[in-house]
Amino acid sequence: MKEADEVRTLRAKLDLKGAHLTKQRAAVFAYLSAVDHHPTAEEVFLAVKRDVPKISLATVYKNLEALVACHAATKLNYGDAAARYDIRTSPHYHTRCLKCGRISDLDPVPENELTQLIKPPEGFAALDYRIEIAGYCKNCSDQKEE
Amino acid sequence: MKEADEVRTLRAKLDLKGAHLTKQRAAVFAYLSAVDHHPTAEEVFLAVKRDVPKISLATVYKNLEALVACHAATKLNYGDAAARYDIRTSPHYHTRCLKCGRISDLDPVPENELTQLIKPPEGFAALDYRIEIAGYCKNCSDQKEE
DNA sequence: ATTCTTGCAAAAGATTTGCAAACAA
DNA sequence: TTGTTTGCAAATCTTTTGCAAGAAT
């Protein structure tokens, strides 16, 4: 999908919630689309500030939540203190490095095999499987702490 | 295992780290053992205060971390803002209710089938699989939000 | 006796909120 | 024009920390 299409899709998703597409919101979305990992709000803030110097951290938070609300992004609360945001909204899973904190994508897992192996108890209405493998990423594997 | 044995086991685990077994620590451990879900530090604090009225929230946090450090409990960061603590230390997985926030245990998943289905990328040193099914628990399924 | 723990208050980090001015539809 | 968003500062929530007094080994 070329960039113009992505923006059109985003605008449509926002429209459904009566939300506007501002310069700040577009910049947050663009950064989330550009990076290959899943940054914290702080990281997004620092990066986006290069394009929109006057943007505030509160605005970044509000925009990240707006993207989540219109299903243009996903919030990842697994793991450490600061939440992370992910531009992908289709089901997929993550690795998390215990040393550097980086969250990356896992190779796809067949949906049906997964739900067959892992079943919720009677009466629990499952909406979302969340899977994370914690460990040491390639870069950190060498210098890992005790 | 009867209660005296549990305390003996706990004491042994603490000893390995040079940690003491105080009245407060025992109460935190006892509460964690007694409940069938996985409470936040705040919940533990409120509950334990009934037995140890002068206990402080900071002490509860310190004790929960001490239990995690000596492998007498596990910390669950999946999901919402406040971490939750789990007396079980062997690998197992959870359900999380999106309405009431309750974290409960999932039926066991065969370890080998799991690692065969879900594999980390080349070079990633996997230490811990974390799996959560988010959805609505039996109690909340009826009155669930839009 | 020595080391660890408690409880308090203050600090820190992440996130949210209230509000008037600015912007998008 | 109307409703949404921005940026700021203050507030909130969870968790951590420093420290003197008290408890466990």
List pLDDT tens digits, range B53-62. Answer: 999 999 999 9
DSSP result, A46-80: HHHTTTSTT--HHHHHHHHHHHHHTTSSEEE-SSS
Residue B40 pairs in a beta bridge with B84
Q: How confident is the model at residue B79 (pLDDT cuts 50, 70, 90)?
A: very low
Angle between helix A23-34 and A3-16 (nearest 10): 120
* CB < 8 Å to A128, chain B: 133-135
Q: How confident is the model at residue B80 (pLDDT cuts 50, 70, 90)?
A: low
Q: How many CB atoms lie within 10 A of CB B29?
A: 24
User: Across the interface, do A138 and B122 touch by the CB < 8 Å criterion?
Assistant: yes
Per-residue pLDDT, A100: 73
User: Across the interface, do B128 and A134 touch by the CB < 8 Å criterion?
Assistant: yes
Q: How many helices (H) and strands (E) does chain A have?
A: 6, 5
β-pairing verdict for A84-86 and A94-97: unpaired
Collapsing DSSP to helix, strand or coil, A103 comes out as strand
Dist CA B67 CA A142 (whole Å): 29
Instruction: Give mean pLDDT, residues A47-64.
Output: 96
pLDDT 10s digits, B81-132 = 567 778 876 778 888 887 777 788 888 889 899 999 999 999 898 988 888 8
- Asked if A54 CB < 7 A from strand D, the reply is yes
Residue B50 gets the label, from left (phi > 0), alpha (psi -120 to 50) or beta, of alpha
- Asked if B99 CB < 7 A from strand C, the reply is no
Per-residue pLDDT, A26: 97
Per-residue pLDDT, A3: 66
Report CA(A55)–C1'(D2) in Å, whole number.
Answer: 24
Q: Which residues contact A135 (CB under 8 A, 6 or more apart)?
A: A95, A96, A97, A98, B120, B124, B125, B126, B127, B128
Q: How far is CA B62 from CA A19, A135, B37, B68, B126, in A?
A: 44, 25, 20, 10, 28
- Say whether pLDDT at A2 is over 70: no
Lowest mean pLDDT among A14-28, A57-71, B47-61, B81-95: B81-95
Percent of chain A with pLDDT over 70: 90
Stated as kind and residue range, the H or E segment containing B116 is helix B111-117
pLDDT 10s digits, B3-54 = 678 899 999 999 999 999 999 999 999 999 999 888 999 999 999 999 999 9
Q: How far is CA B66 from the centre of its chain?
A: 13
Which of A30 and A109 is assigned the larger pLDDT? Answer: A30
Instruction: Give mean pLDDT, residues B63-69.
Output: 95
